[in-house]
């Protein structure tokens, strides 16, 4: 049994059983059986995804409440998480396949199609349990796969409730949830009956996942860590940039967002203004229990995560950086709360800058030349997103194109996942993609078809 606790109050919420090897085998067998039959009909899959969206819409309040209790984020953020998942389900419910033609002449016709990969394993982290699940389920189900989902051991409750709610609209065996810890995840990676593994989580775990998938040569999508830089030129609208970047790191999920801005590089003339803008923003942020109305930022999800981010801040202080952590009092609760921190006067190679902090602590580093800014933006092993800020769009775009990252933003930084826009990382932020048509490609076996004809004469 895995005990689930509320990260704000530390109250015990539930005990969830861990799937046994025999249960995993049984789930794979039922998922394999479900590949045949009604699930082969794309119309059935589209209708099921539309029904899933309707059910999530109807049950948003109840699911958001479970999410807040088990994950910690404020209810408003949990509702947004559900709304994003609903948009994804609706997008793939409406998505129509096509078979692109490569060549069509009197002598030959060459084109491509897609078929399902088979049973797909989906391993999900704790920060956005439902959105990230739907980023996998939407394209995965639409492409015709059947599924085993492994939620994070600390956030299985909303996933289990969702699966219970949508079971009636899916053929038996299409969706199976196997709760558990790393061992259950590793068993999915190694299982010979699973054809595809889609994993979202940290880069170190991603390496282990890739190794365990190697013996069966599974198709693999890895959505891993991010240390997203924002590069801000002095001609940018500094208050607007600070407000938009703060929405990613100092918002409800307390910076525990893979696409959050994790380091800011500012052209030196604008550095002081940028630091002041962030410091003003964090002073207004109320941290607390996500079920309290008016709370803007929840706790860190685990004690370990709070201690990790706290350790990076202690290290920054030891390096004589300025750590600004001022704002409304923290609640009188035993949870993993932390005030948002703006860190300036910190060296570009400090751990808080170079590591993914995954928490509400933002380092701001000045630069003098474009070459220096580019080297900083490309430093490190991760490459999820990057944003560039300038009044000169052409300059910003030309600069952004030299950054190795999966998504490049000009005068904005990430956003809630958009079902039409593919999402995936560069470097050790992973490979493969979710959402958009790329998501369907990643969930399918693509094939080439060719007909050759005798041409008379």
Give the residues lining the site for ligand NAD (CB under 6 A).
Answer: 123-127, 132, 150, 152-153, 181-182, 185-186, 189, 200-202, 205, 208-209, 212, 223-226, 258, 356, 358, 384, 425, 430
For ligand NAD, give the closer residue by CB, 111 or 438.
438
Opening angle at CA 440, ends 85 and 134, nearest 5: 20
State the nearest-atom distance from the C-beta of 260 to ligand NAD, in Å. 9
226 versus 298: smaller Cβ distance to ligand NAD: 226
In terms of CB distance, is 201 or 380 closer to ligand NAD? 201
Whichever of 14 and 182 has its CB closer to ligand NAD, that residue is 182
Q: Which two tokens stand for residue 316?
A: 């920054």
Task: Pick the catalytic residue from 70, 189, 213, 258.
Answer: 258
- Of the pair 160, 182, the CB lying nearest ligand NAD is at 182
The least CB distance from residue 71 to ligand NAD, in Å, is 11
> Which residue has tokens 């061992």?
183
Does 261 qualify as catalytic in the annotation? no
Catalytic annotation present for 81: no
Angle at 306 between CA 308 and CA 408, to 5 degrees: 75
Integer Cα distance of 86 and 88 in angstroms: 5
Q: Report the nearest approach of ligand NAD to the CB of residue 132 (Å).
A: 6
Between CA 282 and CA 297, with CA 228 as vertex, the angle to 5 degrees is 30
User: Which residues make beta-bridge pairs with 15?
Assistant: 3
208/427 with CB nearer ligand NAD: 208
What's the helix, strand, coil split of the chain in %, to 5? 40, 20, 35
Residue 386 Cβ vs ligand NAD, minimum distance, rounded to whole Å: 14
Catalytic residue among 70, 81, 213, 223: 223
The closest residue (CB) to ligand NAD is 185
Q: Which is nearer to ligand NAD, 217 or 456 (CB)?
A: 217
**Nearest distance from residue 106's CB to ligand NAD, in Å?**
47
For the bound state, the minimum distance from the C-beta of residue 331 to ligand NAD, rounded and expressed in Å, comes to 24
Smallest distance, ligand NAD to C-beta of residue 57, A: 24
Which residues have a catalytic role annotated?
Answer: 223, 258
């Amino acid at each position: 049994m895995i005990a689930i606790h509320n990260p704000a109050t530390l109250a015990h919420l539930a005990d969830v059983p861990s799937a046994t090897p025999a249960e995993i085998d049984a789930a794979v067998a039922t998922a394999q059986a479900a590949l045949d039959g009604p699930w082969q009909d794309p119309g059935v899959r589209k209708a099921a995804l539309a029904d899933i969206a309707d059910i999530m819409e109807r049950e948003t309040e109840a699911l958001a409440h479970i999410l807040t209790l088990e994950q910690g984020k404020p209810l408003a953020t949990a509702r947004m998480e559900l709304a994003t998942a609903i948009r994804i389900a609706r997008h793939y419910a409406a998505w129509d396949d096509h078979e692109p033609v490569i060549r069509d002449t009197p002598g030959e016709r060459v084109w491509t199609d897609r078929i399902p990969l088979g049973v797909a394993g989906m391993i999900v982290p704790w920060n956005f349990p439902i959105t990230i699940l739907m980023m996998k389920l939407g394209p995965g189900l639409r492409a015709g796969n059947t599924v085993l989902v492994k939620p994070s051991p600390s956030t299985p409750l909303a996933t289990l409730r969702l699966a219970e709610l949508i079971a009636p609209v899916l053929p038996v065996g299409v969706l199976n949830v196997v709760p558990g810890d790393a061992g259950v995840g590793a068993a999915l990676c190694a299982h010979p009956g699973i054809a595809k593994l889609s994993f979202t989580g940290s880069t170190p775990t991603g390496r282990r996942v890739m190794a365990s998938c190697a013996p069966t040569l599974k198709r693999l999508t890895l959505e891993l860590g991010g240390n997203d830089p924002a590069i801000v030129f002095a001609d940018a609208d500094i208050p607007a940039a600070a407000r938009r970047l703060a929405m990613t790191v100092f918002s409800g999920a307390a910076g525990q967002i893979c696409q959050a801005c994790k380091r800011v590089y500012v052209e030196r003339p604008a550095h002081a203004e940028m630091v002041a803008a962030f410091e003003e923003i964090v002073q207004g942020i109320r941290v607390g229990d996500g079920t309290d109305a008016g709370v803007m930022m929840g706790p860190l999800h685990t004690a370990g995560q709070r201690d990790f981010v706290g350790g990076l801040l202690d290290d920054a202080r030891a390096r004589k950086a300025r750590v600004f952590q001022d704002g409304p009092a923290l609640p009188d609760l035993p949870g993993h709360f932390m005030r948002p921190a703006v860190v300036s006067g910190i060296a570009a190679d400090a751990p808080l800058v170079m590591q993914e902090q995954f928490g509400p602590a933002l380092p701001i580093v000045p630069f003098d030349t474009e070459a220096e800014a580019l080297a900083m933006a490309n430093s490190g092993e991760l490459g999820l997103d990057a944003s560039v800020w300038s009044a000169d769009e052409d300059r910003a775009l030309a600069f952004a194109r030299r950054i190795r990252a999966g998504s490049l933003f000009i005068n904005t930084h990430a956003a809630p996942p958009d079902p039409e826009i593919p999402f995936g990382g560069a470097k050790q932020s992973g490979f493969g993609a979710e959402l958009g048509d790329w998501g369907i490609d990643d969930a399918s076996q693509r094939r080439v078809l060719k007909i050759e004809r005798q041409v008379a004469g």
